[in-house]
Amino acid sequence: MYWEKQLETLAHDELKKLQTERLKETLTYAARSPFYKQVFQQKGIRPELIKQPDDIRRLPYTTKQHLRENFPYGFLGAPKQELIRLHSSSGTTGNPTVIFHNRHDIASWANLMARSLYCAGVRDTDVFQNICGYGLFTGGLGFQYGIERLGCLSIPAGAGNSLRQIKLMQDYGTTVVHAIPSYLGRLYEIFQAEGLDPRKDTDLRLFVIGAEPHTEEQRQRIEEMFGVKAYNSFGLSEMNGPGVAFECTEQAGLHIWEDSYLVEILNPDTLEPVPDGEVGELVLTTLDRQAMPLIRYRTRDLTRIIPGTCACGRTHARLDRITGRSDDMFIIKGCNVFPMQIEGVLLKIPEVGADYLITLEQRNGADEMIVDVEVKKDWFNGDITRLDRLTRKITQQIRDEVLAKPIVRLVEPGSIPKSEGKAVRVKDNRTLN
């Protein structure tokens, strides 16, 4: 049932005690880094001031901007010689974000990954295909180390080349797959094109999906297409990568590992804590990282703590599905819109296919939201009135959900350009004018 029963089911006050100790240790490591050393000196912060996890509120925030400004070594809390790995974001604009790890950090992360996978029901009898880019991106090696730690037979497949992915699944009897959700609709289309049905022609039983926002509707579609259970995996490279929060087999929220991360949900405007159950910005502090501890890192991700306890017996708090980042939100015709609201509407409509794209444009001086929607394969039979009816239905339903009227365009399956990595859901062309 558990990977580490004692830690996963720790009573609330025991957990608080552990967090307090680890927070103090974290501050000790942090104080060695040029960035925090200066901040701590300025504000008179010392580890001894921490008596309980709530004392975190006396500490300053850390943002992506800080990481960029102090690139590359400004946050290092350990001698360079101790480092054994770095992961970094692409950094196409400005400095990339880089995170360094020592032996302890890598071992701790691998263990968290193994714990996460075990909690979703993965076992050492599984054959685990990791469909994810290896290299600087954390989803490759992050999962790899966890899969091996758990003891599954791992297939480090990498991303792309769907025919090869299917062949690997069939050759080695893959039972578990990790992939980003937006890729899986495409993979299914390749199965179909090859005349294969993943439900019959593979041993697949469990998927781990994450790294990008997706709706409950998308999860259900994936489960139906492949005949599997799909579990949500959340993480961000600043907090290692995957293994921060994971769904258990109850599928009732993502347990965030509170022995390793101190969780705050704050009102993004006032930075005051919101009560359990209310949505706010997730702010995280590492509690088990030595080389590069981060304190009160503002993730920009919006979520809430699900009140109550989980039937699985784990005591670590549960995050609700992450609906997006505060910076994903766009404003159209005065309405605040999150892309996942539109996805939620689209994927409830059976005629809608695998992909969609939202484009924001200025037309005749007014902002317009254009939503291109792929229809299902073989749906269009040349009947224009069918097209019209579906277009009107989608327009109406999006309007009801977000209050702004979109221009809906139905397009053929596979015609929306695919991005290399995570799906791009919104193109905002308005600032270019």
Q: Which residues form the interface with K ion (CB under 5 A)?
A: 124, 151, 153
Closest to Zn ion by CB, 191 vs 234, is 234
Q: Decide which of K ion, ligand ADP, Zn ion, none touches 21; Cβ closer than 5 to 8 Å per partner kind.
A: none
Q: Which helix (H) or strand (E) holds 147?
A: helix 138-150
Cα 431 to Cα 433: distance, rounded to the nearest angstrom:
6
Examine residue 312 and tell whether it contacts Zn ion (CB under 5 A): yes
332: β partners: 335
Q: Which does 248 bind (CB under 5 to 8 A by kind): ligand ADP, K ion, Zn ion, none?
A: Zn ion
Measure the CA–CA gap between 153 and 182, rounded to whole angstroms: 25
Number of residues that bind ligand ADP (CB under 6 A): 16
Omega cis (within 30) before 79? no
Q: In the complex, which residue's CB is closest to K ion?
A: 124
**DSSP tag of 258:** T
The DSSP 8-state label assigned to residue 156 in this structure reads -
Rank residues 67 and 236 by Cβ distance to ligand ADP and give the closer one: 236
DSSP H/E element including 166: helix 162-172
Cβ of residue 117: shortest distance to Zn ion, in angstroms? Answer: 14
Residue 253 falls in which region: left (phi positive, over 0), alpha (psi -120 to 50) or beta: left
310 binds Zn ion (CB under 5 A): yes
Q: How near is the Cβ of 234 to ligand ADP at its closest, in Å?
A: 4
Choose, by CB under 6 A, the member of 140, 198, 213, 243 that binds ligand ADP.
Answer: 213
- Binding segment toward ligand ADP, per CB under 6 A, in 102-110, 165-173, 231-239, 371-379: 231-239
Q: Which of 53, 198, 210, 413 binds ligand ADP (CB under 6 A)?
A: 210
What is the spatial distance between Cα 263 and Cα 278, in angstroms, rounded to a whole number?
A: 14
**Minimum CB distance to K ion smaller for 69 or for 124:** 124
Q: Where are the beta strands (DSSP E) in 91-171?
A: 98-102, 127-130, 153-155
Shorter beta-carbon distance to Zn ion: residue 246 or 297: 246
Q: Contacts with ligand ADP in 373-392 (CB under 6 A)?
A: none
Among positions 278-307, residues that touch ligand ADP (CB under 6 A) are 299, 301
The size of the chain, in residues, is 433
Give the Cα-Cα-Cα angle 251, 121, 201 (nearest 5 degrees).
Answer: 100
- Judged by CB under 6 A, which of 325, 377, 399, 427 binds ligand ADP? 325
12-30 and 34-43 are packed helices; what angle lies between their axes, rounded to 10 degrees? 110
Residues that bind Zn ion (CB under 5 A): 248, 250, 310, 312, 314
Residues that bind ligand ADP (CB under 6 A): 89, 138, 210-213, 232-237, 299, 301, 322, 325
